[in-house]
């Protein structure tokens, strides 16, 4: 959770914990199978469109898969995910992995993509919440060839000042402020480990009047995280919701019904 004193605290710690608990359930860790030990490679969003289940992630994370089998976390277990019908948008670094219809019985929650939207705000303030699974938070247990993982989230505000100098289009990308050395975890301000592995995780948007805390009443998926920068401009870069929805719709046209 990212602390941004220049933008104000995005709700109390209690409020943030309630909100993050509710949205974390849509996030899934992706792992590459390996005879020696599973290798965490990315985060993903479990989503549904027109009744079809899928995982959405960052396209670049799948390039490290090689000929290994892709696995998705299901609480304490992992399930094989086929990449045969993957649909990729290289321009926005996102990928959709269609899942079999039997995935509805996996016991995980899927986010309905057609119900997500980008609001037209006037006086409301926005808060953003990124959710994912950093590699450095995972623990490998080689004797049993298992990996224990931990979901991590961070809060931030939009980095409106970063679009012009980075030449990143605000139409295509959402930039949110990210200060790794000053993050809030369990109510304490401390440094956060490098977020490698959070790529592919969902970025959430909450909005409310300036004098009120964020709530689940006004919330939506904002995009998919694909990159972060700790240079002059410190931010998380996410492909915006519109591109995620368009790619998900395209995946329905190209993947076989099952």
The C-alpha angle with vertex 108 and arms to 134 and 21, in degrees rounded to 5, equals 55
Overall pTM surpassing 0.85 (yes/no) = yes
207 touches 119 (CB < 8 A)? yes
Q: What is the rounded CA–CA span in Å between residue 256 and residue 215?
A: 38
For residue 59, the 8-state DSSP code is H
Q: What is the rounded CA–CA span in Å between residue 251 and residue 173?
A: 21
β-strands 139-141, 125-132 pairing: unpaired
Q: What is the rounded CA–CA span in Å between residue 136 and residue 196?
A: 8
Per-residue pLDDT for 44 more than 80? yes
Cβ partners under 8 Å of residue 34, min gap 6:
68, 145
In sequence order, which ranges of the chain are alpha helices (DSSP H)?
13-23, 59-62, 163-166, 241-254
pLDDT for position 140 = 56
CA 253 to chain centre: 24
Reported as a single tens digit per residue, the pLDDT across 108-159 is 999 999 999 998 877 788 889 999 988 766 665 554 455 666 678 888 899 9
Reported as a single tens digit per residue, the pLDDT across 70-122 is 999 877 678 999 999 999 999 999 999 999 999 999 999 999 999 999 988 77
Q: How many residues does the structure list for the chain?
A: 258
N-to-C CA span, the chain: 39
pLDDT for position 141 = 52
- Provide the CATH topology of domain 26-112+245-254: Thrombin, subunit H (2.40.10)
Phi and psi angles of residue 63, each rounded to the nearest 5 degrees, phi first: -70, -20
Tokens of 120: 């037209």
CATH code that applies to domain 13-24+115-241: 2.40.10
As annotated, the residues of the chain forming the CATH 2.40.10.10 domain(s) are 26-112+245-254
Of 44, 37, 35, the residue nearest 62 (C-alpha): 44
Q: What is the rounded CA–CA span in Å between residue 196 and residue 198?
A: 6
Half-sphere exposure of residue 230, counting CA atoms within 13 Å on the CB side?
9
Average pLDDT, the chain: 84
């Amino acid at each position: 959770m990212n602390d941004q004193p220049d933008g104000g605290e995005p709700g109390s710690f209690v409020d943030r914990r309630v909100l993050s608990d509710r949205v974390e359930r849509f996030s899934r860790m992706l792992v590459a199978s390996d005879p020696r030990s599973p290798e965490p490679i990315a985060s993903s969003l479990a989503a549904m469109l027109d009744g079809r289940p899928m995982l959405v992630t960052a396209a670049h994370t799948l390039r490290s898969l090689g000929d290994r089998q892709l696995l998705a976390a299901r609480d304490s277990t992992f399930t094989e995910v086929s990449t045969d019908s993957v649909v990729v948008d290289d321009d926005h670094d996102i990928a959709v992995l269609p899942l079999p219809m039997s995935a509805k019985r996996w016991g995980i929650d899927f986010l309905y993509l057609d119900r997500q939207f980008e609001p037209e705000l006037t006086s409301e303030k926005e808060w953003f919440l990124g959710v994912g699974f950093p590699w450095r938070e995972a623990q490998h247990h080689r004797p049993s060839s298992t990996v224990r993982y931990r979901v991590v989230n961070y809060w931030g505000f939009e980095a409106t000042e970063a679009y012009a100098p980075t030449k990143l289009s605000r139409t295509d990308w959402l930039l949110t402020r990210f200060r790794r050395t000053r993050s809030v975890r369990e109510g304490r301000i401390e440094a956060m480990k490098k977020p490698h592995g959070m790529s592919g995780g969902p970025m959430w948007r909450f909005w409310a009047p300036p004098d009120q805390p964020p709530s689940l009443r006004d919330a939506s998926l904002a995009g998919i995280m694909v990159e972060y920068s700790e240079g002059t401009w410190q931010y998380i870069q996410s492909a915006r919701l519109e591109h995620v929805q368009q790619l998900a719709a395209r995946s329905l046209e190209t993947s076989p019904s099952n």
